[in-house]
A and B are shown apart, each in its own frame.
Chain A
Amino acid sequence: MIALAMAFATGCFAIGLLLTLWRTIVATTTADRILALDTMVINMIALLVLFGISARSTLYFEVALVIAMVGFVSTVAYARFVLRGNIIE
């Protein structure tokens, strides 16, 4: 059962990745692209956790944790750049 759930979840996030890729490349506004990249990072964190579960190792959770902790900083920086130009005022 868990294997099935894992496969389903992995499939969903994988498709999610492709969709966010599409949105990053083809988008009407820069904000769309930044949001798409942010979503891509979240999908990737989810995939890392799933990968850790399937590999039966906790080692990968920390990478996921660190990416989660610092990954949003880039998103904020992109957003600040679009809004204000200068990211450290």
Chain B
Amino acid sequence: MPLILIALLPFLGAVLPALMIRAGRTASAWSAGAVTLAALTGILAHAPAVLRGEIIFYQLDWVPILGLNANFMLDGLGLLFSLLILGIGLLIIIYARFYLDRDDPMGQFYCYLLLFQGAMLGIVLSDNILLLIVFWELTSLSSFLLIGYWKHLPEGRQGARMALTVTGMGGLALIGGMLLLGDIAGSHDLSVILQSRDVIQASPLYVPALILILIGVFTKSAQFPFHFWLPQAMAAPTPVSAYLHSATMVKAGLFLMARLWPVLSGTPEWFYIVATTGLITMLTGAIGALFKNDLKALLAYSTVSQLGLITMLLGFGTKMAAVVAVFHILNHATFKAALFLTAGIIDHEAGTRDIRRLGGLRHLMPLTFLIGTLAAFSMAGVPFLNGFLSKEMMLEEAAHTVWAGSHLFIPVLVTLGSLVSAAYSFRFIAHVFLGPRRSDYPHRPHDPGFGLWAAPALLVALVVLIGVLPALIAGPLVAITSSAVTGGDLPYFSLRIWHGVTPALGMSLIALVGGAVLLAAFVPLDRLRASLPQDTAKAIFDGLIAVAVRLARGLTAGLHNGVMSRYALAFALTVLTAAIFAWATGAAGPATRALTPVPPLPLIGWVLLVAATVTIVLTHHNRLLALILIGIAGLIVSVTFVYFSAPDLALTQATVEVVTIILLLLALNFLPRGSPREGSTARHVRDALIAIAVGAGAAALTFVVQTTDFAFDPISAYHLANSKTGGGGYNVVNVILVDFRGFDTYGEIIVLGIAALVIHALAESLLESPVGARLARRAPDKGESGDPHPLLMVVATRVIMPIALLVGVFIFLRGHNAPGGGFIAGLIVAIALLMQYMASGYDWAVSRQRFPYHGLIAIGILTATLTGVASWIAGYPFLTSSYGYFTIAPLETFELATAMGFDLGVFLCVLGAVMLALDTISRLAHRAGERPSPYAMDVDPSRPQSAQRV
């Protein structure tokens, strides 16, 4: 299976559980499991080759100009993580099927889970750092959905928000770091970057790139000081915590550190930043975990601590430490996932995960006790379990690491960290399972069904197997993964239980014994801690967010206060200032074009336009009068287009004008006839002066532009020259619309369609709200006179209808070579239909409508799309048009262009959009109690007297 398919499989499969939920919860879980299993099979099929040392590649150019390629790579490191992601993912899917409540939307859960799985898989399989960033951001988004899955819980929503904010900001830093890194290495492909260690470390940009990347990594992997989001994210359902916060998402940061280890590590900067951060995180996490009373919070802090441990190992920068880090990643994933699942079982069966309310569960839940104890012992580092092995090796590495000249600094603190880890691991066992049996559990605790214990049991089996037979079970995988991390040759290492009497053994013993002692002293220590200041990270974060929100609100309220005249003022003043600046500093060329003479006729048009506009300004309080005067302006604009030889624009303007007037009149029906006077006279004078200044400036600018030649040749010459040869049409305007700039038009008709649908949706929701009832009850604000559907108008529009349709068809067909086209034709046909609405009434017209207008919009866009796609099939770029000449007797030879199909799409979309919008708005005026009339005319002499309806 090609790698791209494996990486995309979870994304493609994410719809399955959401659909299959209709067939039941089990079917939904099966479909999610099948998708995961398929991806896992794909990875396993590559596993033998990878274990032999091969690297699997898949290359696909995506946006090569940006260096963004869909290149995938599977090496040892990718294999280990893919197995963790998919293997534990499969277990989580099974577990979640039995864990989630009957009321939880399970389809959604699996859908999000698969999206997350795909994003994680993408990170570990990417061979391109830009692609990796895309998947990195997808994990942030999908984990947001998963953490906030229980939408009814405020802490769930807050935790999700916090996780998204922190990891999202980190992602931003990471993008910067990765771009710098790609810039230094000269490629965004990992396989190239990994070969450029010397260039990267010698670059002055190395430190900024390193810091930015580390911010991204530390936020994701919950390293100090960004560790606070992880405990807050524990509001997620337990399967999510087990998956995201033990095995996968928090490991993404570690993965990236391991991935870039060959090029970034080995410098003092790397050592001091990474190792120190890891050490601090390990200690703070461990101490935090010890005193948490919520089981999941304990595990969350312990995860923080263990992640710190791995980060520290990677920070050491030695190959042996990297091997140990890889081994501990594997071990931690197994025991921590098992522990989370155990915590989930306890929560599920005992009804609480508050340690203070638990205890004595060993008799009630013996199986859970066994699983939980083994996993916790592994975390503590007890021999014969896998946690012991990697911890021992870690201590060995720490024992001879020198920090700023001190030989004791790291060994002592690491031993202390291990000691506290042992203490909280023991606490998990002692305070939950041991102790006296209680009588006040919220539920009656008992061992769960197979579905819930199967997954943790399998993981614990791995914990024990690796613990007893490490070289056999984990040896090859660790070796191949480590060689991928270190970039080739490995130091000698052996995964064994007994390494002889070493300093590490002593440190291990101190940790285990000290941990037990520390737990024995837990009660006084807890009292001591309660008196100290508590964890303030969340408070600081909330404070920062509150400040940011206040600033944003203030800015928005200041700029966007709803007063139209203020926006206009700001706009006008900005333009005026910019224009004055340009006028003062720039220079306009001399007037090179002579003024054209002004014949009397255009002068009259100009007088009409100016008079109408000035009158609108003076009398705009009378809304209807303003609308009539707008009619004059529209008329003059359309004849101006004629005068300047733009018949296409004239036709469009004339038809748009009619539709606009109808639309505005429909809206005006809901408004008062006049608008009130606002503002003082002084303000009016001030605004008028500013407006006149801006208007005069714009006029002057136009005058200058019109009387000088353009600095560059306009593109129109190209259009004129290529219209016939390239687009097959003599009408350049139409060829521009459907060919030269066809993609533009394509976008525009989609926008038009969306706008009409939005109008429809808004009006529908308005009609269903209380406002709809008020609209239906409203009385006309003045008397109504005459018939609603007068005979004369019905007859006239019926006569005009076929003529208008014919004109529409004519305008459409010849559009490619003479003025016209789909847009104008759509408007003409829409007006022809609107006439029927106005004359014969809404009900009469709608009852004769065969096809919904939404459908017209959809068919229009699909037709346009198909025309574009057809050129793909023919091997040309999207929307390439071709044309030919055909003769069908007795017709003259005529031309057919593929652009006509596109134009048909434009026609249908325009028609559908105009009709849907106007139809919807006219529905708002329907009053309660109006019965649809079976007749088009109210008074019709051909009907008997009794059937007349006035």
Where the two chains meet, the residues of A that have a C-beta atom closer than 8 Å to any C-beta of B are 10, 14, 17-18, 21, 24-25, 30, 33-34, 37, 40-41, 44, 47-48, 51, 59-60, 62-63, 65-67, 69-71, 73-74, 76-78, 80-89
Contacts and interface: CB of A to CB of B under 8 A. Distances in A.
B827 to A, nearest CB: 8
26 contacts: A18-B604, A25-B629, A30-B624, A47-B639, A51-B601, A59-B819, A63-B638, A63-B642, A63-B647, A63-B650, A63-B654, A71-B654, A74-B658, A77-B662, A78-B628, A78-B631, A78-B661, A82-B624, A83-B785, A83-B786, A84-B784, A84-B785, A87-B666, A87-B669, A89-B788, A89-B842
Given A37-B631, A88-B838, A89-B842, A70 B642 contact: no
A24 B611 CA distance: 10
B780 interface: yes
A44 B604 CA distance: 11
A85 B924 CA distance: 13
B925 interface: yes
Contact of A24 (B632, B666, B786, B793): B632
A37 B665 CA distance: 16
A67 B631 CA distance: 13
Interface residues of B, number: 60
A64 to B, nearest CB: 9
A77 B785 CA distance: 15
Given A25-B615, A48-B639, A76-B793, A87 B662 contact: yes
B102 to A, nearest CB: 50
A30 B625 contact: yes
B837 interface: yes
Interface of B: 600-601, 604, 607-608, 611-612, 615, 624-625, 627-629, 631-632, 635, 638-639, 642-643, 647, 650-651, 654-655, 657-658, 661-662, 665-666, 668-669, 780-782, 784-786, 788-789, 793, 800, 803-804, 807, 811, 818-819, 828, 831, 834-835, 837-838, 841-842, 918, 922, 925
B624 A81 contact: yes
Contacts of A89: 788-789, 841-842, 925
A73 B666 contact: no
B666 A88 contact: yes
Contacts of B837: 88
B838 A76 contact: yes
Contact of A37 (B632, B647, B793): B632
Given A10-B601, A25-B611, A74-B661, A40 B635 contact: yes
B612 A21 contact: yes
B838 A66 contact: no
Contact of A87 (B628, B643, B838): B838
Given A74-B631, A78-B628, A81-B624, 19 more contacts: A21-B607, A30-B625, A33-B628, A40-B608, A40-B632, A51-B642, A60-B642, A63-B650, A66-B811, A69-B800, A69-B803, A69-B807, A70-B655, A73-B831, A73-B835, A81-B665, A86-B925, A88-B666, A89-B842
A85 B662 contact: no
B778 to A, nearest CB: 11
Contacts of A67: 638, 654
B258 to A, nearest CB: 68
Nearest to B834: A73
Nearest to B780: A85
B793 A47 contact: no
A81 B669 contact: yes
Contact of A85 (B604, B639, B669): B669
A69 to B, nearest CB: 6
B343 to A, nearest CB: 65
Contacts of B639: 44, 47-48
A14 B639 CA distance: 14
10 pairs of A and B residues whose beta carbons are closest in the complex: A88-B922, A89-B788, A74-B661, A86-B925, A83-B786, A88-B837, A81-B665, A63-B650, A67-B654, A70-B831
Contacts of B607: 18, 21
B654 A70 contact: yes
A87 to B, nearest CB: 5
A88 B925 contact: yes
Contact of A77 (B608, B661, B786, B818): B661
Tell me which of A24, A30, A33 has the highest count of chain B C-beta atoms within 10 A of its own C-beta: A24
B790 to A, nearest CB: 9
Nearest to A88: B922
A69 B828 CA distance: 9
Contacts of B600: 14
B541 to A, nearest CB: 56
A87 B786 CA distance: 12
